[in-house]
Amino acid sequence: MRRSFMIVMLILLWMPITMAFASISDLQTQIDNNIQKVSVIQEAKTQLHVTANQFRDNEFLNDDWFVAVLGDKWHYVDNIEKQLVEQNENLQQEIVNEEERLRQEELEKQKQPKLKDLGTFTAYAYDPFCKHCCGTGNGITASGVKATIGQTIATDWSVIPKNSKVLIYCNGEQVGGVWRAEDTGGGIKGYKIDMTMNGHTACYNWGVRKVNIKLIVE
């Protein structure tokens, strides 16, 4: 009987802990710990049941009040066991959710474009629909397509090949979205680019800046 009460006391001190964990490993560790707790609880329930029967069946030890107390203890630890089982079900669901989150995260990473750092370039700006900037002002680029403001850039095609897609960064911040090397020109040689912008004001405001260019590898 003393052993039964010792086990009960251990259970009371060994209550379930929070389910907020940082990783699948932590969640699985808590599940394993709960399984051990359930094992101890089941042993305690068995011993409580055996002890209660001993008091009930022995005419010298028969004590209805004490048997009732043991019964209360049995139901108490049985309730703890049910809580642990429920907690493990919740933890297992958290593992499933975390595995799915990690899977989706990996899929998103795979969707991200592979980038090749091309280095630092001097970036100018021009309006492809301005006769002063481009002669014709019709927006037709050297590649034969019509320029798209904020997407078309002029490059030295020996450095950034024709129709290459790139990302442009200035002072660590991305400029616009994806740019395409659709144009070129006599003054754009080596590590120089000319970025399409809407009107002279935007071009003057941009001026001449140093940018970092990353090639989207397809």
Residues 42 and 101 in one domain: yes
* Residue where a domain terminates, one of 60, 88, 111: 111
pLDDT at 24: 86
Q: Which CATH number fits the domain that encloses residue 162?
A: 2.40.40.10
CA-CA distance, 98 to 106, in Å (whole number)?
Answer: 12
CB atoms within 10 A of CB 66: 15
Structural domains of the chain, count: 2
- Are residues 118 and 107 located together in one domain of the fold? no
Do 44 and 61 share a domain, yes or no? yes
194, 160: one domain? yes
Examine the fold and report which residue of 71, 86, 111 is the final residue of a domain before the chain moves on.
Answer: 111
Give yes or no: residues 92 and 172 share one domain. Answer: no
Same domain for 102 and 6, yes or no, is yes
**What is the domain extent for residue 106?**
2-111
Residues 156 and 78 grouped into a single domain: no
216 φ/ψ angles, rounded to the nearest 5 degrees: -80, 115
pTM listed for this prediction = 0.53
Question: Which of 65, 95, 111 lies at the terminal end of a domain, its last residue?
Answer: 111
Residues 136 and 159 in one domain: yes
Q: Are 99 and 72 members of one domain?
A: yes
* Kind plus residue range of the DSSP H or E element containing 45: helix 24-57
CA–CA distance, 73 with 69 (Å, rounded to integer): 6
The DSSP H or E segment spanning 114 is strand 114-126
CB count within 10 Å of CB 20 equals 8
Is the dihedral angle over the CA atoms 162, 167, 171, 176 positive or is it negative? positive
Give me the tens of pLDDT residue by residue for the chain, a chain 218 residues long. 444 444 544 544 444 444 444 588 888 888 999 999 999 888 888 888 888 887 777 766 667 777 788 888 888 888 999 999 999 999 999 999 999 988 888 888 777 788 999 999 999 999 999 877 776 778 899 999 999 999 999 999 999 999 999 999 999 999 999 999 999 988 899 999 999 999 889 999 999 999 999 999 97
Q: What is the DSSP letter of 17?
A: -
pLDDT at 132: 77
Three-state SS annotation for 77-107: HHHHHHHHHHHHHHHHHHHHHHHHHHHHHHH
108-146 residue pLDDT tens: 877 778 899 999 999 999 999 987 777 677 889 999 999
Are 137 and 190 part of one and the same domain? yes
7 and 107 in a common domain: yes
The answer to whether residues 102 and 124 belong to one domain is no
